[in-house]
């Protein structure tokens, strides 16, 4: 393992259960600030489940139970005193399928700042929306039609709108759950470029199905298999010199 400049997420012995089924098995991992970490692995390996433990999105699933410790910024997020609202404001999430609200583009982005009260007045809100849309690389495309429905955009634009919606709250961490799996290659490359840019400001954790994507965007990669964390390290290392035979088998396409 390489050193981490500054740890922001720390997981210690995390297991996740769906009813009786153990989906995640005793995972410990440290994630560094302002970097991109990729979770890879075959489908059903638990990488998305694990990602959702970091902002407690698993809470919305009935019968889901978590053991172990997850800390963000040194705070145990499963502590009874923790409120998920500020947690999720701090750890934002972008989902697999673009899911804009059936509202205008403007309202989609303004939603987060509005509920959290981040803007004092209309012009501040306008600024936040513009900044977020610019940050998501969408401003130029939508500046003239902010009042159009968010669902009227193309798939790639919708996903960037969802990213804009997330960064409008100015989180510290952005979780991305296979954000490009529903997109075509051109849209994908735009999102990847955006991720690199965002990583200057935000910590990004991305679950991806595509090894190439992990190799292209991430600094660190974690390989999951059947609910276990098999290997975690610098992306270059993992792809060039995997230590674990299972990782190697996956990377070389023997399992998938």
Partner 1 sequence: MLTIISVSVIFLGLLFYVVGTTKITRICDAAGIRPHSLFMYHGSFPAILAVAPPLVLLSLWVVADDIVFNMMLEARFPEGLEVEGRQTILILLAQIRNIAEGIIVGQPDDWIIGLADTLSNWRNTSDTIIAGITVGLSVICGLFGISRVKPEFRARNAVEALLLTGLGICSLIAIITTIGIVFSVIFESIRFFKLVPPLEFLTGTVWNPEFEGAARAGSGQEGMSAYGSIPLFVGTFLISIIALSVSVPVGLFSAIYLSEYASKRVRGTVKPLLEILAGVPTVVYGFFAALSVAPFFRETGGMFGLDVASESALAAGFVMGIMIIPFVSSLSDDVISAVPQSLRDAAFGLGSTKSEAIKKVVLPAALPGIVASIILAVSRAVGETMIVVMAAGLAANLSLNPLDAVTTVTAQIVTILVGDQEFESAKTLSAFALALTLIFITLVLNFFALQIVKKYREQYD
Partner 2 sequence: MPLTKTEQIVNASLKARRKKERAFQLFGIAAIALALFFLVTLMGSILSKGIPGFFQYYITLEIELDRERLDPLGDLSEQSLFDGQAKKIIEEVVLEKTGAKSRNGRKAARKLLSNGSDTRLTSFVRANPSLLNSTQKVKFALDDDADSYFRGFVKKETPEQQRRLSNIQIEYLDKMNEDGLISHEISDYLFFGSASRNAEMAGIKGAAIGSVLTLLVCFVIAFPIGVATAVYLEEFAPKNKITEIIEININNLAAVPSVVFGILGLAIFINLFGLPRSIPLVGGMVLALMTLPTIIISSRAAIKSVPPSIRDGALGVGASKVQATMHHVVPLAIPGMLTGTIIGMAQALGETAPLLMIGMVAFIVDIPGSVTEPGTVLPVQIFMWADFAERMFVQKTSSAIIILLLFLILMNGGAIWLRKKLERRW
Which residues of this protein are in contact with partner 2, per CB under 8 A? 73-74, 83, 85-86, 89-90, 115-118, 169-172
CB of 171 to partner 2, least distance (A): 7
CB of 113 to partner 2, least distance (A): 9
Which parts of 75-94 interact with partner 1 (CB under 8 A)?
84-90, 92-94
| Cα separation, 106 vs 58, whole angstroms | 28
CB of 155 to partner 1, least distance (A): 14
Asked if 131 interacts with partner 1 (CB under 8 A), we say no
Residue from 35, 37, 166, 218 that binds partner 1 (CB under 8 A)?
166
Contact partner at residue 99 from partner 1, partner 2, none, CB < 5 to 8 Å by partner kind: partner 1
Q: Can you tell me whether residue 104 is helix, strand or coil?
A: strand
Residue 28, CA atoms < 13 Å, CB-side half-sphere: 4
Q: Residues 170, 2, 78, CA angle at the centre, nearest 5°? A: 45
Contact partner at residue 118 from partner 2, partner 1, none, CB < 5 to 8 Å by partner kind: partner 2
252 neighbors 241 (Cβ within 8 angstroms): no
* Residue 90 vs 165, nearer CB to partner 2: 90
CB of 95 to partner 1, least distance (A): 6
Q: Looking at the chain, list the stretches that DSSP marks H as alpha helix, in order from N- to C-terminal side.
A: 47-53, 84-90, 105-116, 122-135, 139-142, 155-167, 185-198, 211-217, 235-240, 245-251
CB of 118 to partner 2, least distance (A): 6
* Residue 60 vs 121, nearer CB to partner 1: 60
Q: Which stretch binds partner 1 (CB under 8 A): 6-14, 56-64, 213-221, 225-233?
A: 56-64
Q: Residues 146, 92, 163, CA angle at the centre, nearest 5°? A: 35
Contact partner at residue 73 from partner 1, partner 2, none, CB < 5 to 8 Å by partner kind: partner 2
Residue from 18, 78, 111, 139 that binds partner 1 (CB under 8 A)?
111
Contact partner at residue 95 from partner 2, partner 1, none, CB < 5 to 8 Å by partner kind: partner 1
| Cα separation, 165 vs 114, whole angstroms | 11
Cα distances from 84 to residues 50, 77, 79, 91, 116, in angstroms, run 17, 8, 10, 10, 13
Q: Which stretch binds partner 1 (CB under 8 A): 55-63, 128-136, 213-221, 224-232?
A: 55-63
75-76 β-sheet, strand order? 21-32, 7-18, 64-72, 75-76
Q: Can you tell me whether residue 30 is helix, strand or coil?
A: strand
């Amino acid at each position: 393992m390489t050193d981490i400049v500054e740890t922001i997420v720390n997981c210690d012995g995390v297991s996740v259960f769906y009813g009786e089924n153990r989906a995640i098995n005793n995972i410990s991992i440290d994630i560094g600030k302002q970097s991109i970490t990729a979770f890879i692995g075959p489908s059903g390996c638990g990488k998305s489940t694990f990602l959702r433990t970091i902002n407690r999105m698993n809470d919305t699933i009935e019968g889901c139970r978590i053991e172990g410790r997850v800390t963000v910024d040194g705070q145990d997020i499963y502590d009874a005193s923790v409120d998920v609202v500020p947690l999720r404001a701090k750890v934002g999430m972008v989902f697999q399928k673009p899911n804009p609200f059936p509202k205008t583009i403007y309202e989609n982005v303004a939603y987060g700042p509005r509920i959290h009260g981040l803007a004092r007045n209309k012009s501040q809100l306008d600024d936040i929306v513009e900044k977020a849309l610019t940050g998501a690389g969408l401003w130029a495309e939508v500046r003239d039609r902010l009042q159009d429905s968010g669902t009227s955009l193309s798939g790639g634009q919708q996903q960037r709108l969802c990213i804009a919606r997330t960064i409008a709250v100015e989180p510290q961490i952005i979780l991305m759950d296979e954000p490009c799996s529903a997109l075509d290659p051109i849209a994908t490359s735009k999102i990847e470029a955006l991720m690199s840019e965002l990583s200057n400001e935000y910590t990004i954790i991305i679950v991806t199905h595509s090894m190439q994507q992990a190799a292209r965007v991430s600094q660190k990669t974690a390989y999951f298999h059947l609910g276990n964390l098999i290997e975690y390290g610098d992306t270059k290392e993992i792809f060039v010199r995997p230590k674990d035979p299972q990782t190697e088998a996956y990377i070389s396409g023997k399992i998938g």
